[in-house]
Structure 1
Amino acid sequence: MLSAPSNAFEALSSIPIDKLSDLNKVFRFVRFSCLALLAIHHEMHDITHPPLTLPTSVEAVLVSTTGMDLDSVRYGWLLLKRLIWSSQGLSPSSEEVEMFNLHGLRHGVGKFNIATLSDPVKYQAARFTLGFRVLPVHSTSTYCCHCHRCYHYNYMVHKDSDSHIYYSGVPDIVQAAAHFFIDSQVLEIFANAKVFGWLSSLNCARIYNVSIADRHVYIRNNPTAFPQFSQACCHLEQLRATWPVALEMRDVDVLNGFFIYSLLLDRAERCGRLVLPHDATQKERIEDALIVRNRDMEGTGQEAYYHACSRCFVIEEDGGEESNEVKIQVAVCDGNTIGHPCCSVQDCKVPLSNVRHRYCSFHQGNSEVCAVDKCDNPRSPNSQTCAITEHMALEEAYFQPAKALFQLRRRLQRAGVTVPSDSISPEVLDSEEVTLDVECNGKPEEGNRKLQARFGCRRTHNEQVMMRPCGVILARATFFGSEAVSAVNDFAKAVFPTARSTPEFLVFDNNCKLRAHQEVIRDSHFSKTGMPVDVFHFNSKHKETDIYCQKHCNPAFFPELIQDGKWCFNTSICEQTNVWLGGYQAILRNMSVHRYNFYLDELIKRCNRFVIQQLAKGGQEPWIIPVAAIFPVT
């Protein structure tokens, strides 16, 4: 009976020359055996000690990768198993991982197989990594007869439950779809690319596929520059031809991965677990979790809400005899004209069941009525207007650009020029919000009048943001119909819900109308808040003859905002931030309301973190506002 050596030196020195004559093969055997540890663990019930013999599949892989015969592999394991079993922190090279997976796939063995427990049920999948490109893997789920739970890599499902209960914390690998796994490192890069580069999920997927997916990507993308290597570096293409799961990143997986990763981060930050429905598609599964998170973000939900620094929070002497200190804190409010599809009924906030619909489920009956404003006649079959000639002319004018395109393409075809088969369909046109004005023929008794019709879906009017002058976004809200001062007042009260939370100054480009509105409805919530208009809008959009505006909203009327002839605070910060927010218009324009809200809130949270880091690097003095100072305990 042979006993295993107790240390590495003894293990290596005890190898008979006739058994393992090449020392390079010994080290090769050790490295590839370490790569196979996960597959060996998967075949065991107790992994405290190494097994006496290797699984047959692992032996076959080691024979292929090391160049040793089967007897040498078995003898090497007998001698070196304790050394291999205790190995920690092994960092395999890309070449070794590629070779190991290439040989291991034939036997269901891989360095990056995703597995748990025992009695595995395997299925083929793809894993998208940062350091080891895209890898074909075997994903494994297991079932425990004692607790009646099915364990997957990210979550577990109880036999009597219809929920995915995710494990605590944030995993290194996120399951974006049934057969697609994305490393958290990759998803973190995608999230930051969205924040700083306005990248869509499609562009994130494209960048990964052409820049990261292949170890030899620089050769594959530039074959003319590397003619001697271009034919040899086609390993990924060979795998794609044989592996049943697509080894290519898709935009839908990037977006689902972004949502799930962000939800997992949110739950971990709140010391909770993510729970999602089980019997649903991945898109439907995360919907309820997005709604809950969106509600948490409303009003005061952003984590940077309590931020204060020397650029937005100043303490000064009040100038009195007792020389008391007073704080000066400023908030700036403005809107940005990005939005999502909504019900065509003015100010209706019921979500659309499909972003292509014109009306929500509550107002669906309106879709059977003529699209012309103030016309209650039923629409004609296959038309959005009634049978009135002038109303039909509006619809004809609306779809005329598409017909013109068809005519131009027919001319090209007659000239013998090949044209694309795609075309602009009414469905595509219907995704745009368009209002047409046309004068009626004749002279009715009430005089000339104009007809208005809306054939496309309505979009929300704007996104209103509340900010600190330093660049931190406190909150955001969607305005559906217009930027009415009543809606701005409600939004400001949601952001500053108590009298003690209100800022000393609230800057808004239409503060004169906002203040007048508050006086009319006798709302004293902001009675101790100065309400100037920012300098840019005051000079360009407010008349000198407006005495009320000059008296209450002229920024020069507030000496606290001026020091040494300069403005103390950046009251144009919203205008500058709107440049960043506006970059997401094309990405967000067709998102459902719940995804739209989550997407924006997550990007704002990440942007706030970056702004606060940059403020700290710039030497801005940080302040911490106690929660009790804003929400006093009653």
Structure 2
Amino acid sequence: MEHGCTRCTHLKRYTADLVAQGATFDENDNTVVDSPPNEENVNVGVPEADAPPGLGARPKQQPRVPGSARGYVRLAVMDGKKLPHRICAVSICEGPLVNYKNGRFRKDHLDMRSICGIIPCGRAVHSDGAVTYDDESHKGWHRKYLNRFSRLSFPGVQRVIRRQADQNEAHIPQTGPSLHSELPELNGTAGGNIVHTFRARPSFLAYDDACNLLRHIVTQNPNSSWIYSTKLIVDAWHYIGHQAADILCRIWCNPAPTNGSQPDLISVSIDDNGRTHTTRSFNTETAEQLNTWLNGYEAKLRQMSDVNYDFSVHVLMLLYKELVEKRAEKKNEDLAEEFWDKVESTDQFPM
């Protein structure tokens, strides 16, 4: 929380500042700066969803008081990534495993190693080390489960997906491991609905739904201070996939609107030909980039005990913080005294 650099902390901007620098805005345009039109997001035939009554037509901008200090704004990018240590395969249990190398159960459930892993079979496994009852349908389903899940790590899955996409585009027959979207049925039950204990349970969660969070807040309490003290926006990449007919998302959660309603999210730059362009002020994908960095440690973390996992993740976050700060210092992106002088400046336009 003590971090600050010129990538996440900017001088406060007003629409008049950007206009003075040559920017032009269309009040009726709610697209995103620097983003090409998204033809897939036209939402033909989808009725517009009005914003809740507690929100105005658009976010209100605080006017600049003559003679006041300029001030500054910060953007914190949030995203969820659930990458915990593995837990017991029994659905009602979240205890740590006895064996993190290839185990499936916590200490209290070790007796289930001798019971068929397909629920609710309940019969004994067919031999030591086996995980199913001596039934060909159970054994066959387990083999197909292993074929889908056991041979590929998360980075491996990503490589296979890219290779399959390239082969499909070039009409080349697939070789090597492949991915299938569904597991087969078992005794009339869809493969995706089979309950089993073949693997300790990992979970992953990515949250990029700020517009629905804002809708919930304003619906529960239209006078909530969150609505005015903090602006909830959707990151640029996920915003493209949201419905264009959602007025609240398009107007209140736009990550860099071209209509000038959020000047703090816009910068003005001049290219080599002397032409003026509006660009996004912040990198809204920084949380996704952190998640990608964490993915490189997933295989090791998944084999750790709960105690070693907690310690390792703490150290990883500490190292990442130091890495970011060193990078900012090397690129002269730290908040030097010159920046704070501009924050306190009463000049009409930023220097």
Q: TM-score, normalised by structure 2?
A: 0.55
- 1:532 Cα offset (Å): 1.0
Alignment equivalent of 1:314, drawn from 10, 30, 55 = 10
Please, which of 297, 300, 304 is the counterpart of residue 587 of structure 1? 300
Cα distance between partner residues in 1 of 2:214 and 2:63: 27
Return the letter of the residue paired with 2:288. Answer: E
Q: Which moved more, 1:305-314 or 1:357-366?
A: 357-366
Assess if the C-alpha contact under 8 Å between 2:85 and 2:301 holds in 1: yes
Gaps of 5+ in 2: 14-61, 149-179, 269-277, 338-351
Indicate how the Cα distance of structure 1 residues 321 and 613 shifts in structure 2: closer, same or farther if over 3 A, else same.
same
Q: Superposition pairs for residues 330-345 of structure 1, below 5 Å? A: 330-335=75-80, 340-345=85-90
- The letter for the 2-side match of 1:306 is E
Q: 1:440 to 1:615 in 2, by over 3 A?
A: closer
Residue correspondence of structure 1 range 328-367 to structure 2 within 5 A: 328-335=73-80, 340-345=85-90, 349-355=94-100, 356-361=102-107
Residue 369 of structure 1, CA deviation: 5.3
Does residue 616 of the first structure (1) align with residue 312 of the second (2)? no
Matched, 1:537 2:283: no
1:562 maps to a residue whose letter is I
Counterpart code for 2:319 = R
For 2:219 and 2:132, the matched residues in 1 are separated by: 42
Q: 1:549 & 1:346 partners in 2: Cα distance?
A: 36
Find the partner of 2:138 among 388, 391, 395: 391
Q: Map 1:150-299 onto structure 2 (within 5 A).
A: none
Between Structure 1 and Structure 2, how many residues are aligned?
238
Q: 1:306: Cα distance to partner?
A: 0.9
Say which SS state the counterpart of residue 308 (structure 1) adopts: coil
User: 1:558, 1:608 → 2: CA distance?
Assistant: 29
Q: Which blocks of at least 5 consecutive residues in structure 1 are unaligned? A: 1-304, 402-433, 463-481, 486-508, 625-634
Instruction: Identify the range of structure 1 (388-397 vs 609-618) with the bigger mean alpha-carbon deviation.
Output: 388-397
Structure 2 CA distance for aligned equivalents of residues 347 and 320 of structure 1: 56
Q: What are the superposed Cα offsets for residues 47-74 of structure 1, whole Å, 9 maximum, x if unpaired?
A: xxxxxxxxxxxxxxxxxxxxxxxxxxxx
Higher relative contact order (CA 8 A, sep 6+): 2
Alignment of 1:477-556 (within 5 A): 482-483=205-206, 509-518=208-217, 526-527=226-227, 528-539=229-240, 541-555=241-255, 556=257
Q: Is the 8 A contact 1:438 1:452 kept in 2?
A: no
**Alignment equivalent of 1:607, drawn from 320, 324, 329:** 320
Matched, 1:460 2:202: yes
Which amino acid counterpart does residue 550 of structure 1 have in structure 2?
R
Structure in which a larger fraction of residues adopt strand: 1
Q: Could you tell me which residue of structure 1 aligns to residue 26 of structure 2?
A: none
**Matched AA of 1:343:** C
| TM-aligned CA deviation for residue 328 of structure 1 | 1.4
Amino acid at match of 2:330: K
Q: Select the residue among 540, 548, 560 that pairs with 2:264.
A: 560
Contact 1:371–1:385 (8 Å) recurs in 2: yes
Q: How many angstroms does 1:334 deviate by?
A: 2.5
Distance in 1 of aligned mates of 2:323 and 2:147: 48
Tell me the SS of whatever aligns to 2:184: strand
After the TM superposition, which of the residue ranges 339-348 and 558-567 deviates more from structure 2? 339-348
Letter in 2 for 1:596: Y
Note closer, same or farther for the CA distance 1:396–1:602 as it changes in structure 2 (3 Å cut): closer
Contact kept? 2:131, 2:198, Cα under 8 Å: no
CA contact (8 A) 1:344 1:457 kept: yes
Q: Per the alignment, do residues 311 and 594 of structure 1 end up closer, same or farther by CA in structure 2, a change over 3 Å counting?
A: same
Identity within the alignment, %: 27
In 2, the alpha carbon distance for the partners of 1:459 and 1:550 equals 37
> Relative to 1, partners in 2 of residues 1:348 and 1:573: Cα closer, same or farther, differing over 3 Å?
farther
Q: Distance in 1 between matches of 2:83 and 2:234?
A: 23
Shift, 1:460, TM fit: 2.8
CA-to-aligned-CA distance 1:83-124 (integer Å, 9 cap, x gap): xxxxxxxxxxxxxxxxxxxxxxxxxxxxxxxxxxxxxxxxxx
- Once the two structures are TM-superposed, the CA of residue 560 in structure 1 deviates from its matched residue by 1.7
Partner SS for 1:314? strand
Contact 1:616–1:622 at 8 Å: present in 2 too? no
Q: CA deviation at 1:332?
A: 0.9
Change (3 A) 1:622 1:449: closer
Give the direction of change, closer, same or farther, for the CA distance of 1:567–1:348 in structure 2 (3 Å limit): farther
- Cα separation, 1, equivalents of 2:5 and 2:286: 15
User: Measured at CA, do residues 438 and 521 of structure 1 come closer, stay the same or move farther in structure 2, by a change above 3 Å?
Assistant: farther
Distance of aligned partners of 1:397 and 1:614 in 2 relative to their CA distance in 1, 3 Å threshold: closer
Deviations 1:540-564 (A, max 9, x none): x222233343243222263321122
Partners of 1:342 and 1:351 within 8 A in 2 = yes
Distance 1:546 1:461, change over 3 A: same
SS in 1 for 2:311: helix
TM superposition shift of 1:331: 0.9
**Counterpart residue identity of residue 544, structure 1:** A
Please state how far the C-alpha of 1:389 moved relative to its aligned partner: 5.7
Whether the aligned pair in 2 keeps the contact of 1:353 and 1:360 (CA below 8 Å) is yes
More helix by share: 1
Q: Is the 8 A contact 1:435 1:452 kept in 2?
A: no
Q: Check conservation: 1:343, 1:350, Cα contact below 8 A.
A: yes
One-letter code aligned to 1:604: M
Q: 2:122 aligns with which of 367, 373, 377?
A: 377
Aligned AA (2:214): R
Check 1:516–1:437 CA distance in 2 against 1; reply closer, same or farther (3 A cut). Answer: farther
Aligned to 2:52: none
> What secondary structure does 2:318 align onto?
helix
**What's the TM-score once normalised by structure 1's chain length?**
0.32
Distance in 1 (alpha carbons) for counterparts of 2:267 and 2:194: 52
Shift of residue 536, structure 1, vs aligned partner:
1.9
Q: Give the direction of change, closer, same or farther, for the CA distance of 1:363–1:560 in structure 2 (3 Å limit).
A: farther
The partner residue of 1:596 within 275, 289, 309 is 309
Work out whether residues 125 and 131 of structure 2, in 8 Å CA contact, stay in contact via their aligned partners in 1.
yes
The Cα shift of 1:398 comes to 4.3
Residues 360-439 of structure 1: matches in 2 within 5 Å? 360-361=106-107, 370-373=116-119, 375=120, 377-382=122-127, 383-386=130-133, 390-398=137-145, 437-439=183-185
Counterpart in the other structure of 2:170: none
Deviation at 1:599, TM superposition (A): 1.8
SS of 1:456's equivalent?
Answer: coil
AA paired with 2:194?
A: Q
Rounded to whole Å, the distance in 1 between the matches of 2:262 and 2:327 is: 29
